[in-house]
Amino acid sequence: MPNPSQQIMRLGFGFAVSQALRVIIELGIPDLLAVGEQSVDELAAATQSDADALYRVMRLLAPEGVVREVLPRHFELTEVGAVLRSDQSGPRDFVRMINSEAYLAFEQLMHSVRTGKPAFDKVFGSPRFDWLSAHPEQAALFQRAMVALGQGSNEAVADACDFKPFTRIVDVGGGHGQLLSAILARNPHLDGVLFDLPSGVAAARQGAGGDLPRTEFVAGNFFESVPTGDVYVIKKVIHDWDDRRAAVILQNCRKAMLPNGKVFVAETLVPPGDEPNQIKGIDVVMLAVTGGLERTQTQYESLFDAAGLRLQRVIQTRGSISILEASAA
């Protein structure tokens, strides 16, 4: 059992594991090991790397269960590491994305703690989403990372919501369209609107998130307006923004919503207590990178009130994500 100092030291070295994952993904190590165990010398030759340096990175990841050292300086891929292969729709793109510009911004977390403002703006000179709009390659990686991060949760949301009373669904900030695709597949009576910035709409048009029949693609700014519909889904968007800007998004949905319409906000709620939960880590990343936050149910209730909406119920899905169902106040 590690003593308190050892536990703190392990936490402090968390950045090393995170960056080591990015390195082996960028080098294609999981793909090379997919055919079977190989020596570090073979891996280094295939990736034009220094064998001793690569060994030290692999040795770091072995205790984390990503690879296994089966013989001295010979490694095989584990079941955990296999999700990093390029033929898997797992978290590899998320690891690459979070360990690039977001990682650099997080080094300035103290700025966010002292000011309450995102460190990303200080480091890169513009807000996160403005920066992505000016960097298409990183924006494309971001979209792929969101596909990976949304695995399972889109289906969970599509299954948990009752869309039978509605005819026109607007996916606000729908990005790649994975959620809307799942909803339309289950509800053939619905017409869809995929609403996002141009980069998100482009990804959806190209089929990044699946088939989108009966869908109108609309590029725009949800701080200005949103398309008309009788039901709105907003998944993992509100958490990107502070209360003032999040309320504007919801207010615009309220203004455009047809009579008897609904707004479904899909987010992971911050639970009470001290138990470990990934959402608490994501919350601090939001602080540094976008200026947004993860919220408790009580915080969402206040946010809906500010937007002219009323929280009617919270729908629990089979995953960690919840759906907050709201109507006009």
Q: Which of 74, 135, 189, 239 is catalytic?
A: 239
The mean per-residue pLDDT over the stretch 241-268 comes to 97
Amino acid at 220: G
> Catalytic: 189?
no
What structural domains does the chain harbor?
Answer: 4-84 (1.10.10.10), 92-147 (no CATH), 150-328 (3.40.50.150)
Highest-confidence segment of 73-82, 127-136, 274-283: 73-82
DSSP string for 200-247: HHHHHHTTTT---TTEEEEE--TTT----EEEEEEES-GGGS-HHHHH
Query: What φ, ψ does residue 202 adopt, rounded to 5°?
Result: -60, -40
Q: What burial class does residue 278 get, using C-beta atoms within 10 Å of its C-beta: 0-12 exposed, 13-18 middle, 19+ buried?
A: exposed
Six token digits for residue 72: 């001295």
d(CA 203, CA 297): 32
Residues in the chain: 329
**Can you tell me the distance from the alpha carbon of 193 to that of 48, in angstroms, rounded to the nearest whole number?**
47
pLDDT, mean of residues 211-237: 97
The Cα–Cα gap between 223 and 250 comes to 9
Q: 1 or 77: whose pLDDT is higher?
A: 77
Name the nearest CA neighbour of 238 among 135, 329, 309, 183: 309
Q: What phi, psi does 259 have (nearest 5°)?
A: -55, 140
88-136 confidence digits (pLDDT tens): 877 999 999 999 999 999 999 999 999 999 999 999 999 999 999 899 9
